């Protein structure tokens, strides 16, 4: 009887060790793959983005997720339409949500976006951002201006949003 208990204890100890070892091996393999494809950079999280439209700075909020080199998420723009030109607060109808899809190669994010809500309006574009520090990405956007229909490009700055503990 005591031999059975001893064998069970040994089996539990060996099993626990194997689970611990397997977790460390998987962590090592995942870290190696992440380092190879994403070069160890992580852009997941909440970002505050700025660009200039008709002389006024437009603010957006982006939420990104990343697995290896694949990046996806959303951009919420509360300053669209004519509210930028007039300085008025945007109405609920002016708030737009965009879906983002892209790739991260070393410290460069190349992505496209499109309007999340389906409809008649074509509202899509692309951007390239370079991670300069852990908390800031800088680059350029390219899209068609919804008012003029003309191609537009300009500087695009993203800063990581600070998360405050409450």
User: Where along the chain do its domains lie?
Assistant: 1-38, 45-160
Strand partners, 1: none
CA distances from 95 to 59, 82, 102, 147 (A): 12, 12, 23, 16
Q: What is the pLDDT of residues 30-86, one digit of tens each?
A: 555 554 555 578 899 999 999 998 888 999 999 999 998 899 999 998 876 544 445
CATH number at 45-160: 2.40.128
Q: What is the pLDDT of residues 128-142, one digit of tens each?
A: 999 988 789 999 999
Give the separation between CA 1 and CA 111, rounded to whole angstroms: 65
Its pTM stands at 0.69
- Reported as a pLDDT band with limits 50, 70 and 90, residue 1 is low
C-beta of residue 61 within 8 angstroms of C-beta of residue 48:
yes
The confidence score (pLDDT) of residue 82 equals 45
């Amino acid at each position: 009887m005591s031999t059975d208990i001893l064998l069970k204890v040994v089996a539990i100890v060996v099993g626990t060790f194997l689970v611990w070892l397997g977790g460390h091996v998987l962590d090592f393999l995942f870290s190696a793959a992440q380092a190879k494809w994403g070069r160890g950079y992580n852009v997941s999280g909440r970002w505050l983005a700025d660009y200039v439209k008709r002389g006024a700075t437009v603010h957006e909020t982006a939420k990104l997720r990343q697995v290896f080199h694949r990046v996806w998420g959303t951009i919420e723009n509360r300053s669209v339409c004519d509210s930028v030109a007039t300085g008025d607060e945007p109405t609920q109808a002016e708030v737009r949500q965009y879906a983002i899809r892209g790739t991260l190669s070393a410290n460069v994010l190349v992505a496209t976006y499109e309007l999340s809500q389906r409809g008649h309006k074509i509202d899509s574009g692309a951007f390239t951002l370079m991670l300069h520090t852990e908390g800031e990405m800088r680059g350029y956007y390219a899209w068609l201006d919804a008012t003029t229909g003309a191609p537009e490009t300009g500087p695009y700055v993203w800063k990581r949003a600070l998360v405050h503990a409450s």
